[in-house]
């Protein structure tokens, strides 16, 4: 059974810092990996989608990498801003498209 | 509408009651997913529709939970004889084809509280 783990559970950084969020999964037979952002009381917003054949994806200040063989992904956020404060969720995609999520990393960026 | 919508946004009910939660996916999306998110946890998959049919219902916790999508658009998640442990945020997502590699677009969720 696929399990997704995110470390750390919470992170607090001063504005401007570069930071890395970690995601690991137990079964390397994934179809894709997605990173989502969730604001309090809100739904999920997709940030980056990495196909199983890809190594990384970039969008603005965000860069996500995928190493299927070791069961790991990282989300790199450059020059963090207070508006980046949210919970970041990692999810791996199965053959039917359903996603298996980690518990998330709660990020707080202090001005 | 431009995104996935869910109604109601909040629902408070008493133990033992029946509830219905509605999801309106992005127009033209054939795939629809229901997830449940408990406090401090990531969303957990419940059921996946491809068109009108349930392609995978392996995540439904028990037979009190049922979902339909009769016309391949709007979906309703139905919970019978609600229990306090059913309290959670129920999220709906849709994607264009349901194939692997597609982004899923999530609605804002319905917060269910069973007293």
Task: Give the HSE-up count for residue B29: Cα atoms under 13 Å, Cβ half-sphere.
Answer: 29
Q: State the nearest Cα–Cα gap between B83 and chain A, in angstroms.
A: 22
pLDDT digits (tens, 9 = 90+) for A72-84: 999 999 999 999 9
Give per-residue pLDDT as tens, B26-57: 999 999 999 999 998 999 999 999 999 998 99
Task: Judge: A34–B40 Cβ closer than 8 Å, yes or no.
Answer: no
DSSP B58-75: TT--STTEEEE-TTSS-E
Q: Judge whether residue A58 has pLDDT over 70.
A: yes
pLDDT at residue number A25: 97
A45 reaches B (C-beta below 8 A) = yes
Average pLDDT, chain B: 94
Nearest chain B Cα distance for residue A103, angstroms: 4
> Residue B33 and residue A89: Cβ atoms within 8 Å?
no
Q: Output the six-digit token pair for B92.
A: 């709906």
H-helix or E-strand spanning residue B90? strand B88-95
Backbone angles phi, psi at B18, to 5 degrees: -105, 140
One-character DSSP codes across B2-18: -S-EEE-SEEEE-TT--
**Amino acid A43: pLDDT:** 86
Q: What percent of chain A has pLDDT over 70?
A: 99
| pLDDT for B75 beyond 60 | yes
Q: How confident is the model at residue B100 (pLDDT cuts 50, 70, 90)?
A: low
Q: CB under 8 Å to B75, separation ≥6 — which residues? A: B22, B23, B25, B32, B34, B49, B67, B68, B69, B92
Residue A46: CA count within 13 A, CB half-sphere = 21
Put simply, whether A53 touches B (Cβ < 8 Å) is: no
Kindly determine whether residue B108 and residue A45, on different chains, have CB atoms separated by under 8 Å. no
Q: pLDDT grade, residue B1 (50/70/90)? A: low
Pairing of strands A56-59, B105-106: unpaired
Does residue B101 or residue A60 have the better pLDDT? A60
Average pLDDT, chain A: 94
């Amino acid at each position: 059974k696929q399990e997704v783990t995110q470390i750390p559970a919470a992170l607090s950084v001063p504005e401007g810092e570069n930071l890395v969020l970690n995601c690991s999964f137990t079964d390397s037979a994934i179809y894709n990996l997605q990173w989502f952002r969730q604001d309090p009381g809100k739904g999920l917003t997709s940030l980056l989608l990495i196909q199983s054949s890809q190594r990384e994806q970039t969008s603005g200040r965000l860069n996500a990498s995928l190493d299927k063989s070791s069961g790991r992904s990282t989300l790199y956020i450059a020059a963090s801003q207070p508006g980046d404060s949210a919970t970041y969720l990692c999810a791996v995609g199965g053959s039917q498209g359903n996603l298996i999520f980690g518990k998330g990393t709660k990020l707080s960026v202090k001005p | 509408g431009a995104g996935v919508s869910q109604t109601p946004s909040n629902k408070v009910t008493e133990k033992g009651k029946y509830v219905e939660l509605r999801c309106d996916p992005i127009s033209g999306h054939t795939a629809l997913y229901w997830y449940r998110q408990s406090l401090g946890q990531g969303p957990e998959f419940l059921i996946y529709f491809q068109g009108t049919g349930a392609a995978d219902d392996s995540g439904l916790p028990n037979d009190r939970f049922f979902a339909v999508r009769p016309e391949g658009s709007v979906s309703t998640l139905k919970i019978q004889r609600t229990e306090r442990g059913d309290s959670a945020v129920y999220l709906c997502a849709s994607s264009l084809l349901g194939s692997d590699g597609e982004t899923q677009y999530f609605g804002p969720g319905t917060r269910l509280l069973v007293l």
